[in-house]
Amino acid sequence: MRRAHLLGLGFLSPALAIILMLFLIPVLLTVMFSFTNMSTATGISGGAYEINAASLRKLADAGAQESFVETLGKESFVVDDAGITAAAAAYGEQFANEVGSQMLGERFSSRRDLERAFRKLKSRPRSTRDIKKAADLFKRSVLNIRFETAGGLVDAVTDNGIEMTPDQQELLTKTIYTGWTWTSDNFALMAQIPYVWRVAGNTVLYVVLTLAASVGMGLFLAITTFYLPSSAASSFRAIWFLPRILPNVIFVLMWKWLAWDTGFLSSLLANFGVPPRNWMLDTGVNAWVFIVLINGIVGASLGMILFGSAIKSIPQSMLHASEVDGASRWQQIRYIILPQLRWPIMFICAYSTLSLLTSFEYILLSTDGGPGGATEVWSLMAFHTALDNYAGNLQYGLGAAMALMLVIVGILASLVYLRIFNFNDLVAKPRIEQ
């Protein structure tokens, strides 16, 4: 590799390192996570194997035979060395030795059987209560014990005298694992969510309406301020540019205040006998109006600036000439200004489609998808599923799968845009080192 190459790569390396760590790896991990069932319940590190009441229920739900689940849940009584030692401590060596010599290795499926066997011994404890207690010392169960590996669990189960077919063994280890596992179910799950198509529709509606509003308003503002005397124009530009730089929490706060049931709109309309209500969250239609207004105005700020600078670069002589020819203002706009704005408009459309598709901050802050999911869009759904839901079980895997859909759409769209916006023009040949 040549020296010049090293210099270039060296200059690029800080950015490359950051991009690798915080862009490429996260994207790859998003893909990875979307094929897992990770959630708050499974945790993000490994899990363990434990048979308990809950996991037995899960096992039954997963289609295990009833008898199998029952045996797993049952305690069994095994005469082993550990039990004999315990019995020796509690009821004397003699009893322990007798148990050891006569019954070692025997198995009883219930306590009553073991008690019956004890009663046949000579040195058994006197009272029935003591016999019961002695029997308890031999109780063995796999319930409520954590095993780090599947092998440990299987060994323990077989040690307890429960025979498993390989099928049962696989079902058991798969169902009762508490950590996350690989799965491709997320995409099927996503398709099964009853409101998923509505959310997809909402997303399209949101992008189209907001884009139309912001391009329309942006164009209107750019053209009207162009025709105003410069002092008036710059104050209007300042008014309409502020939404872009105001922190979004504050911008949404202003709208909330406007729409609240004790807020400006309600107080104003009370004078005309309209009962106060929360105008933003009242009905789905109202929520949409506010969503489109809030996002549209922020988009219009950008549009106004971009279109404004494009209009300024139109040669003044063209406009003057048209005026001498007696063009009306509408004709000037239609035949001189708009044709010059073709590229900026296309750029804004391309850029905003992508950013709107994935943006949800203003919706999260204003309606949070409400009322009743009326304004839930795809990215907000992914956010709610993975990072912020009321049920408390955050489904990272499913959320990542939803986000992956957006990644795919994003990549496809930007490939198309690179074609349209003539990528080759952007790469200049270096002129010092060839």
**Contact set for other proteins, span 138-157 (CB under 8 A):** none
Q: Pull the structure tokens for residue 258.
A: 């406007």
Residue 290 in the binding site for other proteins (CB under 8 A): no
- Residues comprising the chain, all counted: 434
Stretch of 23-31, 139-147, 203-211, 280-288 lying at the interface with other proteins (CB under 8 A)? 23-31
Binds other proteins (CB under 8 A): choice among 82, 188, 204, 228 = 228
**Residue 92 neighbours by CB distance under 10 Å:** 12
Residue 426 in the binding site for other proteins (CB under 8 A): yes
Q: At its nearest, how many Å lie between other proteins and the CB of residue 41?
A: 15
Residue 321 in the binding site for other proteins (CB under 8 A): no
Q: At its nearest, how many Å lie between other proteins and the CB of residue 140?
A: 38
Q: Which residue has the tokens 């198509």?
A: 197
Task: Tell me whether residue 255 is exposed, middle or buried, using C-beta atoms within 10 angstroms of its C-beta: 0 to 12, 13 to 18, 19 or more.
Answer: buried
Task: Report d(CA 39, CA 34) in Å as an integer.
Answer: 11
Q: At its nearest, how many Å lie between other proteins and the CB of residue 355?
A: 6
Write the CA distances from 90 to 77, 82, 95, 112, 137, integer angstroms.
Answer: 18, 13, 10, 20, 9
Residue 187 in the binding site for other proteins (CB under 8 A): no
Residues near 276 by beta carbon (within 8 Å), at least 6 away in sequence: 261, 262, 266, 267, 269, 270
Q: How far apart are the first and last CA of the chain?
A: 14
Binds other proteins (CB under 8 A): choice among 361, 370, 371, 389 = 361
Phi-psi region of 239 (alpha: psi -120 to 50; beta: other; left: phi over 0): alpha
Q: At its nearest, how many Å lie between other proteins and the CB of residue 291?
A: 15
Q: At its nearest, how many Å lie between other proteins and the CB of residue 132?
A: 49
Q: What is the DSSP letter of 263?
A: S
- DSSP, collapsed to helix, strand or coil, labels residue 315 as coil
Residue 32 identity: M
* Binding positions for other proteins, 27-46, rule CB under 8 A: 27, 29-30, 33, 38, 44-45
Q: What is the DSSP letter of 76?
A: E
Letters for 256-275 (x = contact with other proteins by CB under 8 A, - = none) are: xxx-x-xxx--xx-x-----
Q: At its nearest, how many Å lie between other proteins and the CB of residue 49?
A: 22
Q: What is the DSSP letter of 327?
A: -
Residue 351 in the binding site for other proteins (CB under 8 A): yes
* Binding positions for other proteins, 192-221, rule CB under 8 A: 221
Q: Which is nearer to other proteins, 209 or 333 (CB)?
A: 333
Binds other proteins (CB under 8 A): choice among 67, 192, 316, 317 = 316
Stretch of 67-75, 88-96, 128-136, 223-231 lying at the interface with other proteins (CB under 8 A)? 223-231
Q: At its nearest, how many Å lie between other proteins and the CB of residue 183?
A: 16
Residue 433 in the binding site for other proteins (CB under 8 A): yes
Residues that contact other proteins, how many (by CB under 8 A)? 112
Residue 427 in the binding site for other proteins (CB under 8 A): yes
Q: Which is nearer to other proteins, 137 or 364 (CB)?
A: 364
Q: At its nearest, how many Å lie between other proteins and the CB of residue 265?
A: 10
Residue 22 in the binding site for other proteins (CB under 8 A): yes
Residue 423 in the binding site for other proteins (CB under 8 A): yes
Cα-to-chain-centroid distance, residue 429: 42
Letters for 232-251 (x = contact with other proteins by CB under 8 A, - = none) are: x---x--xx-xxxxxxxxx-
Q: Which is nearer to other proteins, 129 or 431 (CB)?
A: 431
Task: Report d(CA 369, CA 327) in Å as an integer.
Answer: 48
Write the CA distances from 207 to 291, 296, 377, 378, integer angstroms.
Answer: 11, 10, 10, 11
Binds other proteins (CB under 8 A): choice among 109, 123, 165, 224 = 224
Q: Which is nearer to other proteins, 172 or 297 (CB)?
A: 297
Letters for 370-399 (x = contact with other proteins by CB under 8 A, - = none) are: ---------x--xx--xxx-------x--x
Cα-to-chain-centroid distance, residue 207: 20
| Secondary structure string (H, E, C) spanning 47-75 | CCEEECHHHHHHHHHCCCCHHHHHHHHCC
**Residue 145 backbone phi and psi in degrees, to 5:** -115, 130
The answer to whether 38 and 186 have CB atoms below 8 angstroms apart is: no
Task: Report d(CA 155, CA 250) in Å as an integer.
Answer: 60
Task: Report d(CA 286, CA 273) in Å as an integer.
Answer: 19
Stretch of 152-160, 170-178, 182-190, 339-347 lying at the interface with other proteins (CB under 8 A)? 339-347
Q: Which is nearer to other proteins, 100 or 344 (CB)?
A: 344
